[in-house]
């Protein structure tokens, strides 16, 4: 609020100075009044009349008549009250103008509302689908004129995908070129669009995109789902179960998504003649506990935030296992198992101790970003339960 009021006050002072400059800085020399100007004009006319009489242009009678008329007019014009005398006090004029401008500004400010309230009212206006379609169309026109803007094509592809326009989304993802090659989520989204357009046929480029996304992020939810679906469609039920079980480990228990993926796993096991899943062996195979967040950081949580629980070999930067799940009610439970290992040949159970921490991300990207909510790293024994992790910091 102060950052607005100070510039507004300074701007008001500047306006007043510009408007009142003639009163604040009056002319140094005395100005000629209207009475003086009239007298000078008539004096010149009388001199001309006198010259015409002496040169014989007019006779004595005409001279007297014209001279009498001029004297009468001069008397009438110079008898009016001098304009400099009727102007009044400049001090009163300054005070009056200042009060008027300040009152007018205050009335407009409080009637229309401050800048924050105006912005809030504008934000409250609902965005219709027609409005979104128009914005996307304008953006698409802009991108056609700038085809080298790869990031812009990726943004356009996401917009088309949200609108359900998958054919246009596929074209836009193609235009994004190498920009999406290092982003597992964009690769997975592109694969999802292609799968929709191909009516569930997982061949060629689609499979390449899924594998590339999982290589960059083995725990990407969309890529795991698509990978399992591709395996299920081709009859490789064992691979489908493995992908979907890894996906299920990252979903909050009891949610609709978790129940849906459990049903898909059970169906794949049944069709593939696979045995039922056995529980994770106790003693050194997992790390479980709860995640809490401080009261001052709770308002920073937004819908769509991703909670990541990261386990590392103490002293190393490369994660051993990563759990990704949607932010829900806190405190929330977590469980790190071998199914979440970044490298199947180096599972969590091979470690005696692990350094674990929590990061709440807006994007779910592997690389930490400014604004992420984080906890301090805690070293615990593999097999520990009831581990408490507290999110109490904001990454700068």
Calculate mean pLDDT across residues 363-391.
88
What value does the CA radius of gyration of the chain take, rounded to a whole number of Å? Answer: 41
**φ and ψ at residue 306, rounded to 5 degrees:** -110, 130
Q: Tokens in use for 226?
A: 């698509």
Name the more confident of 337 and 28.
337
pLDDT of 32 reads 55
pLDDT of 255 reads 73
CB proximity list for 381: less than 8 A, separation 6 or greater: 352, 353
- How far apart CA 208 and CA 297 sit, in angstroms, is 40
pLDDT of 279 reads 45
Residues 97-132 have pLDDT tens digits of: 677 777 777 766 666 555 555 556 555 556 677 878
pLDDT of 96 reads 72
- How far apart CA 41 and CA 278 sit, in angstroms, is 116
Residues 23-80 have pLDDT tens digits of: 666 555 555 566 667 677 777 787 887 888 788 777 777 777 777 777 777 666 655 5
**Which residue matches tokens 């909670």?**
307
User: Largest Cα–Cα distance in the chain?
Assistant: 140
SS3 for 207-246 is: HHHHHHHHHHCCCCHHHHHHHHHHHHHHCCHHHHHHHHHH
Mean pLDDT, the chain, integer: 80
Is it the case that residue 250 has pLDDT exceeding 90? no
């Amino acid at each position: 609020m102060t950052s607005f009021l100070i510039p507004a006050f300074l701007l008001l002072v500047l306006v007043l100075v510009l408007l009142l400059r003639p009163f604040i800085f009056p002319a140094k020399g005395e100005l000629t009044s209207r009475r003086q100007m009239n007298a000078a004009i008539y004096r010149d006319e009388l001199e001309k009349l006198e010259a015409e009489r002496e040169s014989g242009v007019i006779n004595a009678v005409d001279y007297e008549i014209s001279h009498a008329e001029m004297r009468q007019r001069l008397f009438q014009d110079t008898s009016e009250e001098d304009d400099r005398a009727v102007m009044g006090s400049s001090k009163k004029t300054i005070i009056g103008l200042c009060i008027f401008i300040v009152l007018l500004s205050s009335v407009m400010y409080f009637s229309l509302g401050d800048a924050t309230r105006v912005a809030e009212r504008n934000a409250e206006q609902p965005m219709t689908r027609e409005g979104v379609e128009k914005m996307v169309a304008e953006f698409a026109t802009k991108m056609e004129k700038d085809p080298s803007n790869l990031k812009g094509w990726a943004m356009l592809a996401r917009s088309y995908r949200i609108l359900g326009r998958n054919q246009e989304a596929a074209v836009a993802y193609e235009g994004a070129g190498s920009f999406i090659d290092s982003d597992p989520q964009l690769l997975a989204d592109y694969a999802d669009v292609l799968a929709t357009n191909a009516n569930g046929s997982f061949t060629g480029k689609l499979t390449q995109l899924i594998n590339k996304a999982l290589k960059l992020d083995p725990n990407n939810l969309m890529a795991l789902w698509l990978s399992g679906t591709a395996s299920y469609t081709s009859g490789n039920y064992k691979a489908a179960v493995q992908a979907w079980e890894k996906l299920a480990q990252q979903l909050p228990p009891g949610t609709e998504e978790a129940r849906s993926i459990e049903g898909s796993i059970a169906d794949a096991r049944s069709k593939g003649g696979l045995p039922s899943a056995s529980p994770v062996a106790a003693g050194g195979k997992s790390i479980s506990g709860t995640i809490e967040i401080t009261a001052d950081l709770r308002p920073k949580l937004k819908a769509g935030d991703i909670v990541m629980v990261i386990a590392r070999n103490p002293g190393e930067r490369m994660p051993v296992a990563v759990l990704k799940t949607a932010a829900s009610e806190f405190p929330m439970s977590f469980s790190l198992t071998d199914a979440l290992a970044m490298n199947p040949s180096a599972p969590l159970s091979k470690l005696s101790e692990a350094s674990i921490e929590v990061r709440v991300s807006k994007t779910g990207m592997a690389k930490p970003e400014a604004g992420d909510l984080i906890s301090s790293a805690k070293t615990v024994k593999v097999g520990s339960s009831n581990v408490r992790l507290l999110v109490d910091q904001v990454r700068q």
